[in-house]
């Protein structure tokens, strides 16, 4: 091992030379590899990455990928609007039916 290299593992997700990437020392990358191997063998678990100065904390197998939060919110809003329209139509139909029954019974 290089005498200047720290034995404490560290990882960091960062931009490097204009691209997104992972930075870390050798031990940090080994810790990440071990966490990825565990995530592949235990797909239901969230595996912690035990490295200092890390902005990567958890590795989890997720297939298919989750929707972005903004898209999920938009889908919820659209779904709520569809339900509101359906309920409005149902209420108008019930109101019309009650008026028809009222008209026929008088």
Express each pLDDT in 43-60 by its tens digit. 888 888 877 766 567 777
CA distance to 40, 57, 64, 71, per residue, from 46 (Å)? 11, 10, 16, 24
8-31 per-residue burial string, b: 16 or more CB within 10 A, e: under 16: ebbbbeeeeeeeeeeebbebbbeb
**pLDDT value at position 95?**
94
User: How many whole angstroms from its chain centre is CA 99?
Assistant: 49
Q: Which residues of the chain have pLDDT under 50?
A: 1, 3
Would you say the pTM of this structure is higher than 0.85? no
């Amino acid at each position: 091992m290089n005498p200047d290299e720290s034995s404490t593992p560290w990882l960091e997700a960062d931009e490097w030379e204009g691209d997104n990437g992972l930075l870390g020392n050798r031990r940090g990358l080994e810790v990440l590899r071990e966490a990825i191997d565990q995530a592949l063998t235990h797909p239901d678990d969230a595996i912690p990455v035990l490295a200092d100065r890390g902005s990567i904390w958890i590795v989890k197998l997720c297939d298919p990928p989750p929707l972005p939060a903004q898209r999920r919110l938009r889908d919820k809003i659209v779904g709520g609007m569809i339900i509101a329209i359906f309920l409005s139509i149902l209420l108008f139909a019930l109101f019309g039916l009650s008026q028809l029954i009222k008209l026929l019974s008088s």
